[in-house]
Amino acid sequence: MPVQESPKVSDTADDVVTWRTDERVQVVRMHRPPANALGLPMVEGLQRALDAFESSDSKVLVIVSDLDGFFAAGADIKLMAGYVEQGDLASFSAYGDGLRGALSRLHGLDRPSIAAIEGLALGGGMELALACTMRVGSTKARLGLPESKIGLIPGAGGTQRLSRLVGRARALDLMLTARDVAAPEAHALGLLDRLVEPGRAEAEATELARLLCDRSGAALTEIMRCVDDADDLPLDQGLAREAMRVNTLFSGAQAREGLTAFIEKRRPNYV
């Protein structure tokens, strides 16, 4: 499959979000110096990258940073401070809605997404990582939600997604203290799924993405939905959804291909 380059995006500052697709993995790059603040240009760029992903036949999305030492350091504090100075609640609310919308859209994809984290992922940057299906971090990564230091709370999904990922007690510890954690602790807590040597996060995330591309896309989608059900539904309802989905998959072409390939001792070809 030929490599596809993202178009120039005229309404994002300095093309702060770009992407390319190679072998059904779309790699999204953030480049907004000095720290990839998730301001309006970044939010718009992420939305456009998601547009491209959803309209493509790519199977996995990988999000990386082009800035040394930063995945994304958080929301755009200067922008928010301006809203505070002007007493402009409407603009602050609209900005929050835009950021939440992009991250909710990322979290709701029917295909896996992976954050490759080198350096700091703080505030909105950590919320961006939490919205991904999986997170790969180098030993130099640090993650945290420091919003209580500035009189706010994590407002782009942090209070909800962190609690679901690591549990109530650990989530409260991180958010109430506003402390950030080094990569080994983040891995132990379950914030990072894979821990790698410095400079290896993107390579590991891409390798993981290529592995997922060899799996049944339909099965990956239903696994993600079933795991989400486990967070939101009582056990009996979750089990009922699981049974419904496995029965639906069994009647589909990808299960037929997978079972046939297993019997024939060959690699399945999932279209």
Q: What are the pLDDT tens digits along the chain (271 aa)?
A: 334 444 443 335 458 999 999 889 999 999 999 999 999 999 999 999 999 999 999 999 999 999 999 999 988 888 888 988 899 899 999 999 999 999 999 999 999 999 999 999 999 999 999 999 999 999 999 999 999 999 999 999 999 999 999 999 999 999 999 999 999 999 999 999 999 999 999 999 999 999 999 999 999 999 999 999 998 999 999 999 999 999 999 999 999 999 999 999 999 998 7
60-65 and 180-182: which strand pairing?
Answer: unpaired
17 alpha carbon, distance to own chain's centre: 15
Strand partners, 136: 116, 194
In the chain, where are the structural domains located? 4-213, 217-263
Amino acid at 45: G
Instruction: Please state, in angstroms and rounded to a whole number, the distance separating the CA atoms of residues 79 and 7.
Output: 27
Structure tokens at 29: 């790059």
Instruction: Please state, in angstroms and rounded to a whole number, the distance separating the CA atoms of residues 148 and 240.
Output: 40
Determine contact, residues 261/170, Cβ cutoff 8 Å.
Answer: no
Determine contact, residues 132/161, Cβ cutoff 8 Å.
Answer: no
- pLDDT score recorded for residue 10: 39
Instruction: Please state, in angstroms and rounded to a whole number, the distance separating the CA atoms of residues 47 and 254.
Output: 30
- pLDDT score recorded for residue 6: 42
What's the whole-model pTM score?
A: 0.91
- pLDDT score recorded for residue 4: 43
Active site residues: 127, 147
The Cβ of residue 250 has, within 10 Å, a number of other Cβ atoms equal to 10
Which residues touch 186 (CB under 8 Å, ≥6 apart)? 137, 141, 142, 143, 192
Strand partners, 194: 136
- pLDDT score recorded for residue 251: 93
Instruction: Please state, in angstroms and rounded to a whole number, the distance separating the CA atoms of residues 133 and 121.
Output: 16
- pLDDT score recorded for residue 14: 55
Instruction: Please state, in angstroms and rounded to a whole number, the distance separating the CA atoms of residues 127 and 144.
Output: 9
- pLDDT score recorded for residue 176: 97
- pLDDT score recorded for residue 65: 97
- pLDDT score recorded for residue 12: 54
Q: What is the CATH number of domain 4-213?
A: 3.90.226.10
